[in-house]
Structure 1
Amino acid sequence: MKIKLKLPNANIVNSEANAAVIDDLINSVPFKRLSGYATGIFKSWAPKLYDYCSRQFERLLASDNSLIRIFDNSVLASAAFNFGPRTVCVPHIDFGNLPFLWCWIWGLGWFNWKKGGHLVLWDLKLVIEFPPGTVAAIPSGVCRHGNTRIRKNETRYSFTQYSSGGNFRWVDRGFQTEEDYRATRAAEEAKEEEIRKRDRWEMGLNMFSTLEELGLHT
């Protein structure tokens, strides 16, 4: 069950029953606190990436007052709730997400985290113990991930926050589709865009803060 902003400038439509449940969830104190906690980590450990995401998100929201901001204390456009009751994600990459933006994953429920529910980062060859109430931030658009099973008498739920790359492209294209943008841009603008595309991976990588930039030392 999820709610998120969607291109070109609309919110995903949920069924009446799901919409009521989602409204209760996003207005509940526990999920507001989880969202706020993640935001605090985001600001502290990736301030440049946070500022970029915040600026783009504010521009998106300002372009159309019908767009929904899910959590007042978050700069991420999307959220998903999975009620399991034994949530397992097979290995996958979220190709629709902005590649260098972090996706926030909360593991919730009641299970023996020594025996199951581990976070698996396949490309990094890491299997990480992931107790209930734990949050992880990963660039899910490029990092293959999933989680291990839990036992039948246990429960595991998940809550994630993220933003799609389409939202950022919509803003960068002047709030128009890729096709419309290409049809109206000048030749010089097309050259500049090709350079930006070529260097975008480096731009994203440079938004990750180093320990020295954060005032920390190894």
Structure 2
Amino acid sequence: MFAEIRLTPAPHSACIVLLDTKDRIVAVLGGVPPASAGLGWDENTAKLTAAMEACYKGSKFSKKQLGGRRGQFASRTVGYGYGNGRRLPLNYKVSGKANQAAVQELLEDQAVRRVMGFTNSLFNAFAHKIYKEYQDTNTQLLSHHPHLRSNFPEKTVFAALTLNLGPRSFSPPHMDADNCAGGWCTDTPAGNYDPDKGGQLVLWDMGLVVRFPPGSSILFPSALITHSTLPIQEHETRYAFLQYSSGGLFRWRANGFRSDKDVLATASPEQKSEYEAEQGSHWKLALQKFTRWSDLVNGDWQGKRRTEAGLDEASDLSDPDSNRKEETKARASKKRRQ
């Protein structure tokens, strides 16, 4: 059974958080910036739609770029990533002068940059520790590998941007396995479509159908949650602006800017055992980076009290009651040491 969540025009700025059973914020239905709700953001959405439409019309696409497992529409990826045969982090290639010019014009568009700024702010506000991991990884990779190109220098923590250029973009159920499993992606649609008759985002594992108007933004872990977009009407257009970072980038940085293969090639048996043990515990550490709703309500949106209590490296913080008990014990122990 599915429940419906409506990001409605009034209030268009409504922001809804989705929690798991253990008090973690796992997704944010961000709506639009509150200060820009109404005509101000509607105008930005119209400009975003025009920019993506111009990019589509000014580009040429290979057969592969006109359809795939995520749907039958034109797409373009820019930025950088690691994995799928790459031996080190590399920029996604955009071939042809016309395509390069079309993409560059889109990246410099002010409506696009406003969306980028808003979604990064949402990410920081509702998943601060994950955001910081993205920020640190992005900064270090760009510093260590000068050949890498940021889509929005010093303005985004995401390494890559995929443009679903439609002109009728909607997707069957899928997960984005290349994305960082413990992280979030952003999804902002544009176009001219009726959100009551199509374009809804379906989060299958949560049993939710989300009304998804043009210009609104949603952040969620697309590598973990099966999701799809419902078809729009035949005469309508729909585009999408997606930001994310591939999981391989985080492994590359954690390995000292080396691949798993290179690390294991020179490791002793003891080091290999330790490495495998660390790999097996990554999911627990990733869970602990998700912001707790109770922390946010209490004004600790950065989770500083949890960090100071020594809980960031605890083995399992899945139960809110045990969280509080462990936090009390950690604080008592800290006072005794002092």
Counterpart of 1:183 (choices 254, 257, 265) is: 265
Counterpart of 1:5 (choices 65, 70, 80) is: 80
Counterpart for residue 126 of structure 2: 45
Counterpart for residue 21 of structure 1: 102
One-letter identity of the residue aligned with 1:10 = L
One-letter identity of the residue aligned with 2:170 = V
For residue 89 of structure 1, give the secondary structure of its aligned residue in structure 2: coil
For residue 157 of structure 1, give the secondary structure of its aligned residue in structure 2: strand
8 Å CA contact retained: 2:81, 2:160: no
Give unpaired runs (5+ residues) of structure 2: 1-75, 83-87, 300-338
Counterpart for residue 156 of structure 1: 238
Q: CA deviation at 1:130?
A: 0.5
For residue 217 of structure 2, give the secondary structure of its aligned residue in structure 1: strand
One-letter identity of the residue aligned with 2:273 = K
Superimposed CA distance per residue, residues 156-208 of structure 1 (whole angstroms, 9 cap, x where no aligned partner): 11000000011111111111222111111233332222222111111111111
Superimposed CA distance per residue, residues 74-94 of structure 1 (whole angstroms, 9 cap, x where no aligned partner): 100000111111101111111
For residue 194 of structure 1, give the secondary structure of its aligned residue in structure 2: helix
2-structure distance, mates of 1:43, 1:101: 12
Counterpart of 2:148 (choices 57, 64, 67) is: 67
Q: Which runs of 4+ in 1 moved over 4 A?
A: none
- Calculate percent identity across the aligned residue pairs: 34
Superimposed CA distance per residue, residues 105-152 of structure 1 (whole angstroms, 9 cap, x where no aligned partner): 011111111111100111212111101111111101111111001111
Counterpart of 1:196 (choices 274, 278, 284) is: 278
Correspondence list, 1:142-153, <5 A: 142-153=224-235
Counterpart of 2:194 (choices 108, 112, 137) is: 112
For residue 81 of structure 1, give the secondary structure of its aligned residue in structure 2: strand
One-letter identity of the residue aligned with 2:246 = S
What value does the CA root-mean-square deviation take over the aligned residues?
1.4
Structure with max Cα Rg: 2
For residue 208 of structure 1, give the secondary structure of its aligned residue in structure 2: coil
Q: CA deviation at 1:71?
A: 1.2
Moved more, 63-72 or 157-166: 63-72
One-letter identity of the residue aligned with 2:118 = Y
Moved more, 128-137 or 207-216: 207-216
2-structure distance, mates of 1:167, 1:19: 24
Give unpaired runs (5+ residues) of structure 1: none
1-structure distance, mates of 2:99, 2:271: 44
> Per chain length, whose mean CA-contact separation is higher, i.e. which structure has more relative contact order (CA < 8 Å, sep 6+)?
1
8 Å CA contact retained: 1:103, 1:160: yes
Superimposed CA distance per residue, residues 32-56 of structure 1 (whole angstroms, 9 cap, x where no aligned partner): 1111001111111111111111111
Name the count of aligned residue pairs: 217
Superimposed CA distance per residue, residues 1-32 of structure 1 (whole angstroms, 9 cap, x where no aligned partner): 11131331321211122222111111111111
One-letter identity of the residue aligned with 2:81 = K
Counterpart for residue 57 of structure 1: 138
Counterpart for residue 214 of structure 2: 132
Q: Structure 2 length normalisation: TM-score?
A: 0.62
